[in-house]
Structure 1
Amino acid sequence: MIGQTIMVQGTTSDAGKSTLVAALCRAFLQQNKSVVPFKPQNMALNSAVTIDGGEIGRAQAFQAYAAGLEPMVDMNPVLLKPTTDMGAQIIIQGKALHQMSATQYHGYKTIAMEAVLDSFRRLNEQYDLVVVEGAGSPAEINLRDRDIANMGFAEAVDCPVILVADIDRGGVFAHLVGTLELLSESEKARVQGFVINRFRGDIALLQPGLDWLEERTGTPVLGVLPYLHGLHIDGEDGINPLQADKNEGRRLQVVVPVLPRISNHTDFDPLRLHPQVDCHYVGAGQTIPPADLVVLPGSKNTIADLRWLMEQGWASYLQKHLRYGGKLIGICGGFQMLGDLLVDEQGVEGPAGSVAGFGLVAMRTELMPDKQLHRRTGVILPLNVPVAGYEIHAGISSGPGLQNAMIRFDGIGAGESNEAQSDLDGVVSDDGKIMGTYLHGLFDQSNALSAILEWAGLEQVETMDYPRLREQQIERLARCVNEHLDMERLQQMMQSWYAVRAK
């Protein structure tokens, strides 16, 4: 069986590609189609561990849930995780293989394309429909040579494309027409429809522009999607603005530093959405507010980000915070920063070197080339509550300060060796004010979240079911496209496209 393929490309980054792919996956699933998301190449610091033991972009994991699937490495065969402004870790089919500069990677794209097509063919043979997400814009002229992310991929597999543009940022007609003008004739012919995203207002006022656009380009507008206020979905890379109804009365004050290379910041979405929590992101040069709980996040360049924290005054802030009874959690790279020393002799995340940590836990961490990728379940020992999540890290931490573990994990997962895992993870300080762990997704389960908030000082904690909230948002996306996108016309277009090619 060979399925059909539709590719969603955007006129800009953040035009709505990831969201539209997720919405289409759920809408087609509701039609009892077997559908799978796919992104040839992603550049993001938010990632997830797959059921087959690899690493993919967080957005593709979210799209997998929308399609009713567990995340798999073939859904995102090439993932680029920037470590500096000029270089990135190159992850091919779930495994970190290289550290390259942008110039080096450009030359490597022909090899990366082999992995892309290999993964795509496997999915294409297993599912009725592959919904593909492009990256950035297909009109980025400097990146068209050896392109594997947009039209280069579409032409390689001969699939139709729909082009999405964000009207909320303005210039939507210029974005759509200008993008088409910068494509080759064969690429233009692939664009079978437009989608306008994040529209606010009366559609009647937009209609003359839609008529002009269709007449000017000969390409139909498949739909105008409204701006969805309060939409909460996993962020692909940048920190999404989230809004939630907050209760009256005292709320727990949580502070998270925005590291230059912050990774997996989706860890904190449950905190940001909890009705009894005020979660504050603090960036460069900003005053650090008083807090009940400080959470140090993960990092793709832990040593450089630790130095940045020191420069921003976080060492003295944390000492004062703990002295006055505040609580502190370090996650992944943030956990490593709690110790006495971080060592990267092999240049795993940046230039080889070492740096002193905050000295709050008697441990040292050495970064190693082999990355640990595990899904985990277990118990938060000091709180006696179950927890589930995933590990993505290159560090090995050791020292006398780790005698009091934060988490005891359950049995070894399928396909994983005892050497690769330990039953115990993280640390709890003797005074109970500090916890640290390698586990991402710490706040995702309602029982674990409530227990941590209570530990941090919140009384009468309200239960929040984050997985249920995520499912509600996916259903909301599906309702949106079913109501505002001409799904029948889209499917007819796809059938016509592949009928012609079957002759």
Structure 2
Amino acid sequence: MKGVMIQGTCSDAGKSFITTVFCRLLANEGVKVAPFKSQNMSNNSYVTVDGCEIGRAQGIQSEAANAEASVYMNPILLKPRSDHSSEIVLFGKSYQTLSGVSYRDSFYEKGLEAIRLSLAKLEASYEVLVLEGAGSPVEINLKDRELVNMKVADLADVPVILVADIERGGIFASIIGTLELLEPSERNRVKGIIVNKFRGDIRLFKDGISWIEQRTGIPVLGVIPYINGHMIEGEDSLSLADRFSADKKASIDLAIIKLPFLSNYTDMEPFLYEKDVTVRWVEDMSTFGNPDAVIIPGTKSTISDLQFLKKIGLGEKVKDYFQSGGTVIGICGGYQMLCEELIDPEGADTGKKGTNEDGLALIPAKTVFLTKKKTVRTKGTLHSQIEMTEKTQLEGYEIHLGHSTWNNENKKLPFLMLETGEEDGYYAEKGRLIGTYMHHLFHNDEWRTIWLNRLREKKQLPPQNPTLMKTEKFKNLDQAVEEIRPFLKWDQVKDIMDSWGRES
């Protein structure tokens, strides 16, 4: 198999970023390339055209590669539901929920089978694969049954490039320590090192490059500068601080409730393209402030996160904020929390049968959690009763267990009319209160602009024209690729892939 695997000395070293860049570089050269990550742990999801769920990073990487996303690009997705257990999504469908110990004991062989099948499918359809590892390849307590780093490099028989994050400090120790803890056969597979997130004058690191190469015998293929605003979506909550910088000050202040089991936070990323919008993550009462709008995002554990909000006082704070004239939107799990009652008869959300919890009661509905997850791409229009904007088209996707129904039909005003004929969500107070199951809501440029212009009007700010997010996203991706190109020995990277193929 022709390809390369990107591994890191630690989590958030930039593996997803480098993998995305490699996919884009190859695609721009006319190569039929696909990304691959055998096992992803993330509550950030991407829904494929056939209604299957994979890690969001692999979905974005497939877009960068000009390839249609498929379950074979990420056959195993682990979605944390608590500190001790995760839902296993296998080939895009919910398989079962297991603790970490049970997963290692009972799933390993099935995981290997899924990885082998996926690699074979991708190899038959693409010329080159860019594989991504997870965390560190030398987690000694996990290494004997790992499914995502050197074991996968061995199954695919590809060379490895090791990425290290210089911003964290201790880069020399992290590189040498990682290499020393690898088995000799694994270390022989490492054919290059990339130093990532360098700030300052790269010429000052010249001696560092020489030391690494002399000490390891492995070439440094690039010292990548820290790229501000590259707009390549992050994979998990570790990248939140980088993606949504609190340093930006703007006219419109959006407060996003940071839930313990936050999922699909990339729903908020379109706001990064709006020059007059600041996104703040609110974790407690002290950081709530006086925002122009509050958004409660998705979560993998709705009732647990709702209980958390109540415990720290944010639940009541959101209610008071809305009743005082504030604007609130709940997406997926956030929508469910805004209902009057949440019912979990089979323990699908909590793991405990018969669990009931009072919601924040801003929406006159109840949510019942089902055992079968709904995963689908969806399209619709704003409901015909919504003033002025009834022709606005929206598209996104749904990933949820719960089903919400009205407690008072007289107060029923759905947000969307879906193309299936179904109604979705809730709309009240001229949009001051919205609940919806549609992820990617704000990725719809026209709708996002309508919603933000209402906030601008409320503050007597001028309306803005739509920012074309998809155009901006790929413009920023290509700009990031071009910024990196001078600092990356790209021809040497390709030589590594080519020579490995000849040797094997």
TM-score bucket of the superposed structures, by smaller chain: over 0.9
The residue that corresponds to 1:473 in the other structure is 476
Does residue 410 in structure 1 map to residue 419 in structure 2? yes
- Aligned-residue CA RMSD in angstroms? 1.8
Distance 1:203 1:270 in 2: 32
Distance 1:344 1:117 in 2: 37
Query: Is the contact between residue 306 and residue 315 of structure 2 (CA under 8 Å) also seen in structure 1?
Result: no
Does residue 499 in structure 1 map to residue 502 in structure 2? yes
Classify the secondary structure of the residue corresponding to 1:117: helix
Distance 2:86 2:415 in 1: 32
The residue that corresponds to 1:160 in the other structure is 159
Map Cα deviations across residues 292-344 of structure 1 (whole Å, 9 max, x no partner): 21111111000010011111223332332222221211100011111111111
Distance 1:362 1:466 in 2: 34
Map Cα deviations across residues 135-157 of structure 1 (whole Å, 9 max, x no partner): 00101111111211000111122
- The structure 2 residue matched to 1:66, chosen from 55, 64, 67, is 64
Does residue 332 in structure 1 map to residue 332 in structure 2? yes
Letter matched to residue 338 of structure 2: L
| Greater Cα shift, 296-305 or 339-348 | 339-348
Taking a change above 3 Å as real, the CA distance of residues 492 and 370 of structure 1, as seen in their structure-2 partners, is same
| 1:361 to partner: Cα distance | 1.7
The residue that corresponds to 1:96 in the other structure is 94
| 1:245 to partner: Cα distance | 10
Does residue 386 in structure 1 map to residue 393 in structure 2? yes
Note the residue ranges of structure 2 that are not aligned, 5 or more in a row: none
Distance 2:134 2:348 in 1: 26
| 1:291 to partner: Cα distance | 2.4
User: Scaled by the length of structure 2, what TM-score is found?
Assistant: 0.93
| 1:487 to partner: Cα distance | 1.4
- The structure 1 residue matched to 2:83, chosen from 78, 85, 97, is 85
Query: Is the contact between residue 366 and residue 407 of structure 2 (CA under 8 Å) also seen in structure 1?
Result: no
Distance 2:416 2:483 in 1: 41
Distance 2:63 2:221 in 1: 25
Map Cα deviations across residues 257-279 of structure 1 (whole Å, 9 max, x no partner): 10111111111122244222232
Classify the secondary structure of the residue corresponding to 2:349: coil
Map of 1:307-318 to 2, 5 A cutoff? 307-318=307-318
| Greater Cα shift, 13-22 or 481-490 | 481-490
Query: Is the contact between residue 45 and residue 300 of structure 1 (CA under 8 Å) also seen in structure 2?
Result: yes
Runs of 4+ aligned residues of structure 1 deviating over 6 Å after TM superposition are 244-248
Classify the secondary structure of the residue corresponding to 2:364: coil
| 1:212 to partner: Cα distance | 1.8
Letter matched to residue 381 of structure 2: V
| 1:478 to partner: Cα distance | 2.1
Query: Is the contact between residue 87 and residue 102 of structure 1 (CA under 8 Å) also seen in structure 2?
Result: yes
Letter matched to residue 497 of structure 1: W
Aligned residues: 487
Classify the secondary structure of the residue corresponding to 1:286: helix
Taking a change above 3 Å as real, the CA distance of residues 246 and 225 of structure 1, as seen in their structure-2 partners, is closer
Taking a change above 3 Å as real, the CA distance of residues 212 and 180 of structure 1, as seen in their structure-2 partners, is same
Letter matched to residue 332 of structure 1: C
| 1:404 to partner: Cα distance | 1.2
Distance 2:164 2:379 in 1: 40
Classify the secondary structure of the residue corresponding to 1:135: coil
The residue that corresponds to 2:199 in the other structure is 200
User: Scaled by the length of structure 1, what TM-score is found?
Assistant: 0.93
Note the residue ranges of structure 1 that are not aligned, 5 or more in a row: 412-421
Query: Is the contact between residue 246 and residue 279 of structure 2 (CA under 8 Å) also seen in structure 1?
Result: no
Distance 1:278 1:496 in 2: 48
- The structure 1 residue matched to 2:376, chosen from 374, 378, 383, is 374
| Greater Cα shift, 113-122 or 130-139 | 113-122
The residue that corresponds to 1:483 in the other structure is 486
Query: Is the contact between residue 32 and residue 127 of structure 2 (CA under 8 Å) also seen in structure 1?
Result: yes
| Greater Cα shift, 209-218 or 35-44 | 209-218
Letter matched to residue 470 of structure 2: P
Taking a change above 3 Å as real, the CA distance of residues 103 and 292 of structure 1, as seen in their structure-2 partners, is same
Distance 1:285 1:321 in 2: 12
Distance 1:201 1:257 in 2: 34
Distance 1:83 1:491 in 2: 40
